[in-house]
Amino acid sequence: MRIFSVADSALTGAESLETLARLLAGQTDACLVVSELAGVRRSLLAAAAQAEAGQPGYIEEINRVRELHVRIIQALFPAREQSRLLTPIQILLGDLEDILHGVQLIRECSRRTQDLILSLGVRAGCLLASEYLRRHKVETRLAESSGLVWVPRGAGEGRVDYQKSYAAIRSLRAAAGGLYVIPGGTAVTDQGVITILRQDGSDLTAALVAAALQAESLELYSDGGGVWSADPAFVPDAFVVPELSYQEAMELSYFGAHMVHPQAMVPPMELGIPVHLRSLARPGEPGTLICRSPQRARGLVAGIASIEPVALVNVEGGGMVGVPGIAARLFGALARAAVNIIMISQASSEHSICVVCRQEEAARALSSLQAELAVELEAKQIQNLESRGELAIVAVIGERMRGTPGISGRLFSALGGEAVNILAIAQGSSETNISFVIDKAAEGKALRTIHRAFLGPEGRS
């Protein structure tokens, strides 16, 4: 069995659905995970915000969503068939308008209400894709639910229950014939409340479906077409990497490569299910294969990724040396302030600890640490507590780097030759990732330098 997933960014219009129909022709034992059309989520979020503010502009956003679906239906279906599809779409949009009118009246849009609003966009996208595939002789069955079971934990928080989800997916699939069309990025609680998964939910849905059904492959179609060796906006010579390991893909994704969310890599990795990343606009291109043992012909480095803008928060002082629990206090304070730590670096002398976070979280991080360390700051045990912004993290990733002498030397020698100043360095014990912090202004130069040294013709080894 094969599992296909199409990201909302790839469903840009009639042409994308035509391409999808050609790809799925003849598929009888498969599942297709579909989200809303491109731009619909943005319009629905804008409509919810307008309604919550008591503004009538939400009607304009609904009309924008309606016009998009009508335009595609008119382009894909003959006139005699259009009403059959337009009617359920209009019913969904009518429900949407009623919900948003209620939001406008009470001036409140809770997370639960917002998820219900977004789910209507997903249902409309699934309905459109399913009906068009049927018109092209692909037997489909449209699922009412993805099968994912959500366990709430506090306001807007929770998790997917993998084992319950696997059982529900198997049960749903056992009752289905032909191509099963599944709403992506949605989950349902035991009480039937719909939740929208926030982080690349369609990819996670597809990954869990693939694991539950022990699929032979998982094929993810997006607008990117694979994993790039570096950001093409900075590195003109960047290319789509043919093959990656699961670990390399997770690392690259975490550090800013626009591809699969790391969480969606876990279910296929556990079962060894190969994941293909391809472009729906260019389906003939090979894209990137993610598997256990990639047969990559290129060198030690799989790819380079970067995150910006970030800020570095540095804590320095002689009073930290040999004091048990100081790191726990720092990280506890940052956790209470809801600051996500991207990178950590600590001097072996224990004299300083620096953490890197998103720039928008820097002020909150600094304030929280100042409160936590007030006594130490007053006693001069902490001499320096400062934040520096407008920085970038660059990560050099590759499993073949493990156990290879001289990688760090080559890397920092190349950067030094281009006068790129390094502010902080971190390397995991697995040796598959070397990360460092630089000024944001030097990001492009650093990426080009590393790409030339390790992924250019003279750097491959």
pLDDT, tens only, 38-68: 999 999 999 999 999 999 999 999 999 999 9
- The pLDDT, as a whole number, for residue 255 is 80
- The pLDDT, as a whole number, for residue 299 is 76
Structure tokens of 291?
């598997």
Give the closest residue to 200 by CA, choosing from 432, 447, 8, 346. 8
Per DSSP bridges, beta strands 243-245 and 186-188 are unpaired
In the chain, which residues have pLDDT < 70?
154-156, 199-200, 256-258, 296-298, 347-350, 428-430, 458-461
CA atoms of 112 and 92, how far apart (whole Å): 18
Structure tokens of 295?
């047969």
CA atoms of 288 and 253, how far apart (whole Å): 13
- The pLDDT, as a whole number, for residue 260 is 80
Residue for token digits 């209400």? 113
Sign of the CA dihedral running 89, 91, 92, 98: positive
Count of helices and strands (H, E) across the chain: 14, 18
- The pLDDT, as a whole number, for residue 257 is 65
Q: Are 184 and 202 in contact (CB under 8 A)?
A: yes
Strand ranges (DSSP E) for 170-209?
179-183, 186-188, 194-196
Residue 140 CB partners (closer than 8 Å, separation 6+)? 32, 130, 133, 134, 178, 179, 180, 181
- The pLDDT, as a whole number, for residue 258 is 66
- The pLDDT, as a whole number, for residue 458 is 62
* pTM (whole model) above 0.85: yes
- The pLDDT, as a whole number, for residue 283 is 86
Other Cβ atoms within 10 Å of 173 Cβ, number: 20
- For 58, 114, 288, 413, the CA distances from 96, given in Å and listed in that order, are 10, 11, 38, 58
3-class secondary structure, 248: helix
State the DSSP H helix or E strand holding residue 263, giving kind and residue range, or none if neither: helix 262-271
- For 132, 180, 251, the CA distances from 19, given in Å and listed in that order, are 11, 18, 31
- The pLDDT, as a whole number, for residue 297 is 62
Give the closest residue to 119 by CA, choosing from 80, 83, 84, 146. 146
CA atoms of 359 and 386, how far apart (whole Å): 13
| Structural domains of the chain ordered from first start | 2-223 (3.40.1160.10), 303-455 (3.30.2130.10)
Angle formed by the axes of helices 58-76 and 14-24, nearest 10°: 50
- The pLDDT, as a whole number, for residue 156 is 64
- The pLDDT, as a whole number, for residue 270 is 94
- The pLDDT, as a whole number, for residue 445 is 96
Q: At 244, which amino acid appears?
A: L
Q: Are 208 and 269 in contact (CB under 8 A)?
A: no
- The pLDDT, as a whole number, for residue 96 is 96
- For 8, 140, 206, 207, 319, the CA distances from 200, given in Å and listed in that order, are 10, 24, 10, 11, 43
Concatenating the DSSP letter of every residue in 113-165 gives HHHHHHHHHHHHHHHHHHHHHHHTT--EEE-SS---BEEE-STT-EEE-HHHH
Other Cβ atoms within 10 Å of 188 Cβ, number: 19
- The pLDDT, as a whole number, for residue 417 is 93
State the DSSP H helix or E strand holding residue 381, giving kind and residue range, or none if neither: none
